[in-house]
Structure 1
């Protein structure tokens, strides 16, 4: 609001209008004659013009734009510098002994959004015409978010067991590198789940509501049934029954929400609390990162050859490194890992995110493997491979291979014949 006293300077008021998330500024201005109001008006319009996209400003500026004067030039220059436009009008102030003047203006930042504008005479109470404008705020329809999901609840364990047994799992062991082993393992796993739990496109029409339990659904059903009865017979009794069912349903929903929020934050850490609040729509949306097209080797090559070291600094660094006493490294060996150990490690992963391999934690624990035969070396070699794979595909859980001694006679060259079971 402009400062007082009245007529000492320009007066103006601006309000923010929010239409379905789109914000616009409406302003009304009155500038007394013979007063230099432009500095005050400029200081008020500058932050508004920068913070908003849609502006509609009207008022009596008491500056005649039909004549070329210093005041009219300053006003038009101010409006132009703020990326605003003055809509064309005829003379809006009608005089008896002098020519009519254009004092009442309509200013906007988006002339294309003006549907109609103009002026109407009001001889009954003023010499000024009433100016008007119709502004269109286009609110685009909210696009539904679509995600790819697998329905794991309807997987037939017997069917996936049969199909898993028919796959060639020996390639996992015969692969020469861990990356190749993981690639073959993931390929077989995805082949199974593409058949038994295929990806399907799901539109998220509303935010998730995990607090909706069986009791909440029953209360909603009673409410809807009571409203349907009232629509068929609009009596006072049915209306009272509907209100009672509606109020009861609202109470059950509020209680379920409070219970759900309380159970998730009561003993949670700060990080888990914020993660939970984001599921409720509180906080900033996470930034989606795109995977780079270059590998880790490319990064190492770039940074190792990006700059040329000074010869003196290089020699000093090499001298310090070579003079440092070498630490005796500990022996790193693999240990035999049980099926339960692998499943426990995978279950310890809290994130449900799908990685670059298109596999989430929810799919990994559902498939386990066994070996046929009593070859101890193959058996333990296979479980060592399982631990390799678990470590590779579960690196977000910070899993580390244990350092221990293998049983006597166990080597890591041979591979077992694998039979996958569920």
Structure 2
């Protein structure tokens, strides 16, 4: 996208939304009106890198925004009285594209402008496969005069093609094509269009599509369950057709869980199938039905003006455009005000990140840290430091243990398991593909079978193998991770396994509290930091209780 923005700060939020909505990969801006004392953070767009060439005085200035994931480097920048230019090289699909965004002030000498541009293009385009020069030249290509003739001579000398053939700056009394697009090969541009960016500037923007397949792969894929046609009655009907009593005939707990999980997934896949979608832009919940209707009206008004060219059509379009822009700002402000007032802190930040309003804390791992086997080995082979623990004799601190009696796990009731299901807050999907939301839908009919499996594990001193499989998410602890020690692994266990853990935890916690077995006298020990000491004492004590009550 190439656009004479005429002060990026004045309409930055609208421009930012438009760039995200259109899934722009490279944005070239002229007349940014930025100066070196203005920090780039004030014009930051999520998932983009910004490169600037500013004028020291008011006006002018050019800039590039390049989406994260696209390899690029800065080639040249030059701000003079006759031409302002910024050159970068973009590499996509093993091909190099030399891109330039330029701005020629209206009073600048045209011949001197092309002399400067000739020198830059000669020096910079040789190491690249294609050259693309875009920006505001203030030369109207719709008329034949001395300026357009000099432009044609420049194009012929470098064998460039100028693609823009329609007005790019439209006022009530003029239509000129001064924002140009020059390419070394017209074949690489699959299509282009001239669009109005919600009245930010009196210039129109050029959006053109380069035939580079790698760029389209930058879109994110999201997997979700489609509940749009979900019928709870039909779902329960198919769920109850399964012979769930078959679980009672099995003698292996892993077979029970496999039967339970596979049938739950099959039923959900039938009524709420898993789908993959390509996400090219974040949601805009403030765009209500009325807002979308007004945007279509604005688009129709603009098409009518382009078709007729009358002053009345222009005035009507401008009035509709300004009204729609104000309506969008009001709706967005009202939505964000609701989010900030009625959501908790964590939910608020998650919503703001999903809308690309605040920066994501996503850090990509280098290739040598993405191998799953190496990652697994690195964390399995962490050295064990047990010597200091044995020297503490921690269990000697608990005098009440000997007189507290024998602890034994007992079975739980369906009502207790239902309480545990409502207590789980995490919506993460474990290795079995089942979330707690899915369990809440089916537990009305399958609660007794889930309870049977949990009680089978308790009475037989077993822990299912399938519930030990975790999805491990390595989170970087630094902005530039270089080794496995810079990662913090997060393990996501199956949601059903948490029900067994909660049943065991509740019984242990009750026993410990009733017998007053947790003493804080050992908190004065200096071997381990205080926050970690209390955790370790609990873990070691509970481990001893489990060992005595569950030898298997």
Is structure 2 residue 323 aligned with structure 1 residue 248? yes
Give the structure, 1 or 2, with the largest relative contact order (CA under 8 Å, sep 6 or more).
1
Distance change (3 Å), C-alpha of 1:229 and 1:114: closer
Distance change (3 Å), C-alpha of 1:227 and 1:369: same
Q: Whole-Å Cα distance in 2 between the matches of residues 223 and 245 of structure 1? A: 6
1:152 Cα deviation after fit? 0.6
Q: Whole-Å Cα distance in 2 between the matches of residues 214 and 274 of structure 1? A: 26
Is structure 2 residue 84 aligned with structure 1 residue 24? no
1:260 Cα deviation after fit? 2.1
Distance change (3 Å), C-alpha of 1:185 and 1:224: farther
Per the alignment, residue 290 of structure 2 pairs with 215
1:250-290 per-residue CA deviation (whole Å, 9 max, x = no partner) reads 22221222222222233545443432332122323535787
Q: Whole-Å Cα distance in 2 between the matches of residues 222 and 106 of structure 1? A: 43
1:211-246 per-residue CA deviation (whole Å, 9 max, x = no partner) reads 222332333343344445545655444443333332
1:187 Cα deviation after fit? 1.3
Of residues 202, 208, 215, the one that matches 1:141 is 215
Is structure 2 residue 417 aligned with structure 1 residue 336? no
5+ residue gaps in structure 2?
A: 1-51, 55-61, 67-71, 79-95, 100-118, 132-156, 161-182, 185-209, 459-466, 468-492, 512-552
Could you tell me whether the CA contact under 8 Å between 2:431 and 2:494 is conserved in 1?
Answer: no
Distance change (3 Å), C-alpha of 1:398 and 1:232: farther
Per the alignment, residue 273 of structure 2 pairs with 198
Per the alignment, residue 264 of structure 1 pairs with 339
Distance change (3 Å), C-alpha of 1:55 and 1:354: same
1:319-348 per-residue CA deviation (whole Å, 9 max, x = no partner) reads 9357454634765444424499459627x6
Is structure 2 residue 390 aligned with structure 1 residue 317? yes
Per the alignment, residue 286 of structure 1 pairs with 362
Could you tell me whether the CA contact under 8 Å between 2:436 and 2:495 is conserved in 1?
Answer: no
Could you tell me whether the CA contact under 8 Å between 1:148 and 1:201 is conserved in 2?
Answer: yes
5+ residue gaps in structure 1?
A: 1-13, 29-52, 57-103, 117-131, 373-377, 406-422
- The secondary structure found in structure 1 opposite 2:502 is coil
Per the alignment, residue 228 of structure 2 pairs with 153
Q: Whole-Å Cα distance in 1 between the matches of residues 429 and 361 of structure 2? A: 18
- The secondary structure found in structure 1 opposite 2:327 is helix
What is the TM-score of this pair, normalised by structure 2? 0.40
What is the CA RMSD across the aligned residues, in angstroms?
Answer: 5.5
1:24 Cα deviation after fit? 1.1
Distance change (3 Å), C-alpha of 1:165 and 1:217: same
1:338-367 per-residue CA deviation (whole Å, 9 max, x = no partner) reads 499459627x6364x443333345534332
Matched positions, count:
293
1:190-225 per-residue CA deviation (whole Å, 9 max, x = no partner) reads 111222222233222322222222332333343344
1:60-98 per-residue CA deviation (whole Å, 9 max, x = no partner) reads xxxxxxxxxxxxxxxxxxxxxxxxxxxxxxxxxxxxxxx
Could you tell me whether the CA contact under 8 Å between 2:261 and 2:432 is conserved in 1?
Answer: yes
Q: Whole-Å Cα distance in 1 between the matches of residues 327 and 500 of structure 2? A: 41
Distance change (3 Å), C-alpha of 1:54 and 1:236: closer
Of residues 337, 341, 352, the one that matches 1:277 is 352
